[in-house]
Amino acid sequence: MFAGNLLVVWSLSAAVQSAVSPPSPAPTPKPSACAQALAAGATGAATEMCLGEEDVRRGDAAAKASVERSRLWESAIQHYRKAESLARDPIVKARALDLIAPLYDSQHLDNFRQMEQVLRELIALQPNELAPVFKLAKLLEDRGLLDAAEETLLGARREKPDAVEPYQMLAQFYARRTTAMRQVGDAQKPATPPAAAGERDENGVYRVGGPIVMPQRLDRAVYPPEALAAGIEGVVIAEVVVNESGDVADAKVVRSIPLLDDEALRTVRNWHFKPTLVNGQPVPIRMTVTVNFTTR
């Protein structure tokens, strides 16, 4: 699906470079839940769907944190519940539940337990669908219920051992957990005060900033196949030391994406820069670089 070698944009901190892609054709608007229910011949359910959609629209437009806003969202839920009970078509029932769930998220009524219940109802109604399972797993993860989130994803893998998506979601879950654990470990380490911009540290290494100008570079890297297969992408941040010859003498990850770290370090260690001069003499410098891995 994607080329083995992908263009990876390398940029220094405080330097942003963006790739311009040709505009994509506008997607075809998805029919509203009301229209879908009417098309399915579910007249009573369609009426409730339409009333629910109108309440959501009015609630979204109401003043933030207002009683009226919450009341309209609660009213929308009641209409969607009626639509779900009136509908005979399981697709219409599922659509009603699918519209209820986000109204309980943190941007709306912020009721974790109710959202969890609705997602479990949706899973029971559509046992062969993975999307509500993944939504439930992410909800549990966001609430810090990591064991429950992991078990939900493992259950999806057991139910569909030949499907790729559960493996991808598990890989992304473990990558997020590994990153979080590393960040906690790094935060517990005693911090060494960094050299000021343009000054040198106890090892004689200058930090980029002030009179020390940041070099910029574009390069190519091999996207790790296991990360590509899992759909893992993002920015790895590394701190590098460039010696007097312009070679990268040291590199370490300061913001990690586990499946991408090794490739990021392998590539930056092969960089070569024009030596930095201080008073006419080449000096080692320390700087932060960002490595953006993207499949788009």
b/e sequence 19-48, b meaning 16+ C-beta within 10 Å: eeeeeeeeeeeeeebbebbbebebeebbbb
Q: How many angstroms separate the CA atoms of 276 and 245, rounded?
A: 9
Q: Which helix (H) or strand (E) holds 133?
A: helix 131-142
**Amino acid 23: pLDDT:** 52
For residue 98, how many other CB atoms are within 10 A of its CB? 20
**Amino acid 225: pLDDT:** 81
In angstroms, the Cα distances linking 278 to 181, 206, 211, 243 are 40, 9, 9, 13
**Amino acid 32: pLDDT:** 79
Same fold, 32-179 and 206-293: no
- Average confidence (pLDDT) per 10 residues, the chain, 296 residues: 39 35 57 76 85 94 91 96 92 93 94 96 94 95 94 95 93 88 71 66 73 60 76 88 89 88 87 85 88 77
As a whole number of Å, the end-to-end CA separation of the chain is 11
The CATH class, in words, for 206-293 is alpha beta
**Amino acid 218: pLDDT:** 46
**Amino acid 164: pLDDT:** 92
Task: Give the position of tokens 């075809």.
Answer: 28
Q: How many angstroms separate the CA atoms of 9 and 290, rounded?
A: 8
CATH label, 32-179, candidates 1.25.40.10, 1.10.260.40, 1.10.287.3240, 3.40.605.10: 1.25.40.10
**Amino acid 162: pLDDT:** 93
**Amino acid 221: pLDDT:** 61
Q: How many angstroms separate the CA atoms of 171 and 229, rounded?
A: 10
Q: How many angstroms separate the CA atoms of 138 and 133, rounded?
A: 9
Q: Locate the domains of the chain by residue range.
A: 32-179, 206-293
